[in-house]
A and B are shown apart, each in its own frame.
Chain A
Amino acid sequence: MVFWGKTVSQVAKRPKRKNPIERTQLPTLPPATRSRVALGLTAAAARGRFELQVCRDCGAVQYPPREVCRACLSQRLLWRRQDGAGALISDTILRVAQELFFRERLPWRIGNVRLDSDVNVIAYVHDSVGAPPCRIRIEAALDRAGQAVLVAMPERGRPALSDDPKLREMTCDPRGRKILVTDGKSAIGQASARALAAVGSDLIWIGIAEPWKKAAGFDGLRELPQAKVVPLDVTDSSSVRELAGEIGGKVDIVVNTNDCHRAFSLAARRGVETAQLEMDINYFGLLRLAQEFAPALKARAADGAANAIAWVNVLSIFALANYPPHGTYSASKAAAWSLSQNLRADLQPAGVRVINLFPGPIDDEWDQLEMPPKLSPAALAAALVGALKGSVEDVYPGDVAQDWLARNLESPKTLERELGETGR
């Protein structure tokens, strides 16, 4: 049965409309202060990893994060990935809290967990975890303050964080949300719109620039029940301003898929015109979108169950280190990456998450001469949806991105030399 162009099941998932005479709540955040060393937990969680410090001298695992080993006082503590296996020893229900964030959300279930690596942690407990004692698996997640917290998940089965109504706030689950996909002409934009539609987003505005240039596959998007095509050219400040004026107060998630990719090194293209176009779309496009849409997102960050919650940028692994065959493109993506950190700092106090995707070469026309493996637009879109449903900030989808990330973490200078001398 179809109701206003949507199936009944899609309509049913939509949160109740808010009463327009009631004040929109202001966002509150869980306590965000961390020591410098404790931010190591956040750094790993931002990439979807649970890491703890491990003593290089005696092997003792540490929690909470600290300066010296709890067993041998060595200062040589290294962050290492943990499997999170352990047991829930006890749990309790928090019913009174002084912190505004918790006070607004009581009651909370928290538990005492003994990890197999011989440390005790206090964790949120997913509501699919049974009564203690029982085996669990600890995951790191990012709370609304953007800081790492630990969550006890059931040992078997893989429920989503968002299946727990309280922990859903640690995700940016697109189900029931209103989403702006800024460029529907690119294969990535189209795949993203389709993937977001498939997971039950409520409405997807799909931006189109220069509508007189037909893009393959674009017309098919109009068949998505949630799709609404809107004019949006991120090189045109007035176009961005107009759309923000029209829908800015409705958007829950901005997915910035705008990308201008021209495969030139600086020596292979005379002049700056092409590089300026890349910069205008990849960097200034993000700046224009951020200036116009971020204020409205912040204002609606606590607007009930369908609040403004996330901003996604499709960047590139070439942002991490310049890939000379695509030199000017790399530079524009590095600029966008830097600006996205500004945006994150701007949106964080409201609890709106900025998620960056750093894919390797995409299987499209501008990476035509790149050797496989190349990421399909559909795989990138799946990573995008996964990032929203999960609790991460930085995503490196695909083998090439993972490889570059590892090499860059190990030695940025080595990666620079390798890319400059031998290609990727």
Chain B
Amino acid sequence: MKTAKKKSAPRTSAAKANVRTPAPHARAVLSDLLVSGGARLVDLTQTLSPDFPTIVLPPEFGQCRPFRMEEISRYDERGPGWYWNNVSFGEHSGTHFDAPIHWISGRDLPYNSVDTLPTAHFIAPACVIDCGAQAKADADFLLTTALIKRWEERHGRIPAGAWVLMRTDWSKRNDPIAYQNLDDTGQHTPGPDPDCVRFLVNERDVLGFGTETIGTDAGQAAHFAPPYPCHYYMHGAGKYGLQCLCNLDLLPATGALIVAAPLKILQGSGSPLRVFAIVPAK
């Protein structure tokens, strides 16, 4: 990787962090992997397909275009020796990355769009918080600061610059109706509560927050104060989002490295991406 050749610079805040080497913690994990004799890769990405749902907004708002694919040619008269497609999608479709510029709270930050975000952030350690049982029992389950602290008692303090991934097993809902889980009061999917987001941003200086659901916020987060707190606080502090992740159940609570490099779209607010984890082999 070209970026690894550059000299390291101390990582401070997301705002100043246009550095070109992985964070110290990430480097430590990488060298651990080397000495331990290997690692396995876990794909955390859903397949981009026309059937995969996109976020639902009232119809008078602009809409995220779902993934669509139109054949250019398939070894036929339109192109005799080759097969290819034109694809179209919104920046926030499928398994995707949210950059700070996505939200109004992050609109004036430096390096806030996917084309400018620091390459050092492409690889970062992950803390996986298992909320599978709670989300199964309550679709509107909210992750709280208390639960984060209980997790830290078992697994250690969440390091600065880490992804916090909320495992809910929501990605196992293969039926898009169950995945969206809409009724006439809106969507019912788990997410973090506002105080939890503030804690992760202010007390833990995380890199970002990732979920298996269609957004980083809970389904009912439009009614929170502020609305969509995970978007509002995370992006306001230069943090990122990952959503529609899968296979979080294959990750250890700590020790995995997340590789998440969005497409380099000029002034892009996010993008679908191939995101995967490097997990130390046991």
Name A residues whose Cβ lies closer than 8 Å to a Cβ of B. 210-214, 233, 235-239, 262, 271, 273-274, 277
Contacts and interface: CB of A to CB of B under 8 A. Distances in A.
B76 to A, nearest CB: 14
B243 interface: no
Nearest to B50: A236
Contact of B183 (A210, A214, A236, A274): A214
Contacts of B59: 262
Contact of A273 (B62, B70, B180): B62
Contact of B62 (A212, A237, A239, A274): A274
A212 B176 contact: yes
Interface of B: 50-51, 53, 56, 59-60, 62-63, 65-66, 68-71, 176-177, 179-180, 182-184
Contacts, number: 39
A262 B62 CA distance: 11
A130 to B, nearest CB: 57
A273 B91 CA distance: 13
A271 B62 contact: yes
B148 to A, nearest CB: 30
Given A238-B50, A271-B62, A274-B62, A211 B69 contact: no
Given A212-B56, A273-B63, A239 B50 contact: yes
A239 B176 CA distance: 15
14 contacts: A211-B177, A212-B176, A212-B180, A213-B180, A213-B182, A214-B184, A233-B50, A235-B68, A236-B66, A236-B68, A237-B71, A238-B69, A274-B62, A277-B65
A237 B70 CA distance: 7
Nearest to A276: B65
Contacts of A271: 62
The 8 A-B residue pairs whose C-beta atoms are closest, nearest first, are A212-B180, A236-B50, A212-B177, A212-B176, A273-B62, A212-B53, A211-B177, A212-B182
Nearest to B54: A210
Contacts of B51: 239
Nearest to B177: A212
A239 B49 CA distance: 11
B68 A277 contact: no
Nearest to A260: B59
Given A212-B56, A273-B63, A237 B69 contact: yes
